[in-house]
Amino acid sequence: MVDKIKSRQHEILTLLLENKAGLSIDEIATALDISRNAVQQHFATLQKNGYIQTGGIHKTSGRPVRSFILTEAGINSFPKQYAWFSELLLRNLKDEMGSEALQRYLHKLAVHLSQSLLPQFVGKQPDEKLEGLLKIMAQLGFQAKAIKNLDNNERTIEACNCVYHDLAQKHEEVCEFDRTLISSLLESEIEQVECMAKGGVVCSFKITNKGEKP
């Protein structure tokens, strides 16, 4: 039943994708040959998930009715090929630049990103910076946490996922982006001690000094 509902909801989203101006409940019911109540039930779920929203008044031969349109989330629910395109770009960059140049490029890319984020870290203590970094990593899709060694007070950032795992397996230079971003935002030297792309259980980054970079 769940699969059937999901399939039907996908059909509704596809209809709305093909009709950007929007469709009414009755128009969707007619197109899919299902009841008006069934459409309303699916709409309740789709609106709750943020995939559709009410549009303008839809003029028909009878009284005007409300139309429904896709949201950005609804449009983005359709399959994308970001991973394929990213792998294509990296492969070609690596062929043209070489591995070392690609790593330097990703280093500069991470530095550039960190510059836009550093104002959030100004005046913060090391633990506050670490907390801020974890929030940014969460926004990027990482499931990360900080671990503190009580014996020597060493801190380690541990991520149980890699947001570009497939890319990193094919192009280990990608990991330089993470290393540079973490180091730049914490203003501390870090050492990557474990990598999922290389067979590790997690991606682990040890903060090797507690003070700020000179």
CATH number at residue 142: 3.30.1380.20
Tell me which residue range forms the domain holding 56: 2-76
Please check whether residue 29 is in contact with residue 39, taking contact to mean a CB–CB distance below 8 angstroms. yes
Name the pLDDT band for 214 (thresholds 50, 70, 90). very low
Domain boundary among 35, 59, 76: 76
Domain boundary among 18, 42, 76: 76
- Tens digit of each residue's pLDDT (9 = 90 or more) over 84-107: 899 999 999 999 999 999 999 999
Q: Is residue 8 part of a domain?
A: yes
Q: What is the pTM of this model?
A: 0.69
Name the pLDDT band for 117 (thresholds 50, 70, 90). very high
| Per-residue exposure over 157-196, b if at least 16 CB sit within 10 Å of its own CB, e if not | bbbeebebeebbeebebbbbbbbbbbbbbbbbebebebbb
* DSSP β-bridge partners for residue 203: 159
- Tens digit of each residue's pLDDT (9 = 90 or more) over 131-144: 999 999 999 999 99
* 109 and 23 belong to one structural domain: no
* 35 and 96 belong to one structural domain: no
* 57 and 96 belong to one structural domain: no
- Tens digit of each residue's pLDDT (9 = 90 or more) over 134-182: 999 999 999 999 998 888 888 999 999 999 888 999 999 999 999 999 9
Q: Are strands 65-70 and 144-148 parallel, antiparallel or unpaired?
A: unpaired
* 40 and 113 belong to one structural domain: no
Q: Are strands 190-194 and 203-207 parallel, antiparallel or unpaired?
A: antiparallel
Q: Where are the alpha helices (DSSP H) in the chain?
A: 2-18, 25-32, 36-48, 72-76, 82-97, 99-117, 126-139, 165-170, 175-186
Task: Report pLDDT for 189.
Answer: 94
* 24 and 102 belong to one structural domain: no
CB neighbour list of residue 204: distance below 8 Å, 6 or more residues apart: 156, 157, 158, 159, 192, 193, 194
* 174 and 120 belong to one structural domain: yes
* 198 and 162 belong to one structural domain: yes
Please check whether residue 152 is in contact with residue 187, taking contact to mean a CB–CB distance below 8 angstroms. no
* 130 and 162 belong to one structural domain: yes
Instruction: State how many domains the chain has.
Output: 2
CATH classification of the domain holding 24: 1.10.10.10
Domain boundary among 37, 58, 76: 76
Q: Is residue 214 part of a domain?
A: no
* 59 and 147 belong to one structural domain: no
DSSP-derived letter for residue 109 is: H
Tokens of 57: 């008044």
Q: Is residue 213 part of a domain?
A: no
* 39 and 95 belong to one structural domain: no
Tokens of 172: 């280990």
DSSP-derived letter for residue 150 is: T
* 130 and 173 belong to one structural domain: yes
